[in-house]
Amino acid sequence: MEVVIQPDRWAATRLAARLIARQVAAKPSCVLGLATGMTMERVYAELVRLHGEEDLDFSLVRTFNLDEYIGIDPGHPGSYRYYMNKKLFDHVNVDVRNTHLPHGTAPDLDEECRRYEALIGACGGIDLQLLGIGRSGHIGFNEPLSALQSRTRAKALTPTTIAQNRDHFDPPSSMPRRGITMGVGTILEARECLLLVTGDSKAGVLAKAVEGPVTSMISATALQLHPRCKVIADEEAAAHLEQKEYYRWIFENEPEWQEFR
């Protein structure tokens, strides 16, 4: 795991977007794992800008999202398919047929989870997986006590996750209580993981995820086991990290970060 601290959320977001853009430029047919949420909106806005102003080409890119709510169709304004179309897919030259999310209205959810796993494998696996972190330390919908070798499956959401996301639904009480999510084990099979965390509300859980023990109670701690995981945090999110000075030194001195300084 490599931690990079940026001065503010805008700098952190831009760096994450540039890392994704580098992957796309290096391998035009790459497979991207994507996430949703307010933090990711800025990433996708920057990718849209890079597409429009610097001709970043998504025409051969294939994408798999981490999760989707159960019980709402893709056209629902609260669905993650709707979010991805609105924030990214409708604004770049990606082939929508190459953009994949779990089907939350599938009649057989177990079969849908197996299908999603098989489709990831058929595409050769995920090259770069973008991640955020929930307030309970989850990645995707891998809530506390998720097995660290878990696969794509249906999962009940915690009250914390529901409270965090319910304002995206009208009325808030209509938010689904379950979702389909890639498993922790599925996520760890990506060739590279990129965790983006901003804001002081995530400072405590980020410190546990990065510097605490690996535990199923905080699924993000499993990223410590990944051989190529980058964590990008702004100063607010990094406030509780004990090794902040070392992480800043890495960004200023390691050759791999030179082009981004």
pLDDT tens figures, 175-198: 999 999 999 999 999 999 999 999
Alpha-carbon distance of 29 to 127, in angstroms, equals: 10
Domain 2-254 part of CATH 3.40.50.1360: yes
Strand order in the sheet with 2-6: 2-6, 229-234, 192-197, 128-131, 31-34, 62-65, 99-100
Rounded CA separation 189/223 (Å): 11
Instruction: For 31-71, list the strands marked E by DSSP.
Output: 31-34, 62-65, 67-69
Q: Are strands 153-156 and 62-65 parallel, antiparallel or unpaired?
A: unpaired
Concatenating the DSSP letter of every residue in 49-88 gives HHHHHH----TT-EEEESEEESS--TTSTTSHHHHHHHHT
Q: What is the mean pLDDT of each run of 10 residues along the chain (261 residues)?
A: 97 98 98 96 98 98 98 95 98 98 97 98 98 95 96 95 89 94 98 98 98 98 98 98 95 94 88
d(CA 233, CA 224): 16
Contact 137, 210 (CB under 8 A): no
Query: Do residues 143 and 158 make contact, with C-beta atoms less than 8 angstroms apart?
Result: yes
Domain ranges of the chain: 2-254
Q: Over the stretch 94-146, which tens digit does the pLDDT of each residue have?
A: 999 999 999 999 999 999 999 999 999 999 999 999 999 999 999 999 999 99
DSSP state of 127: S
Beta bridge partners of 69: 179
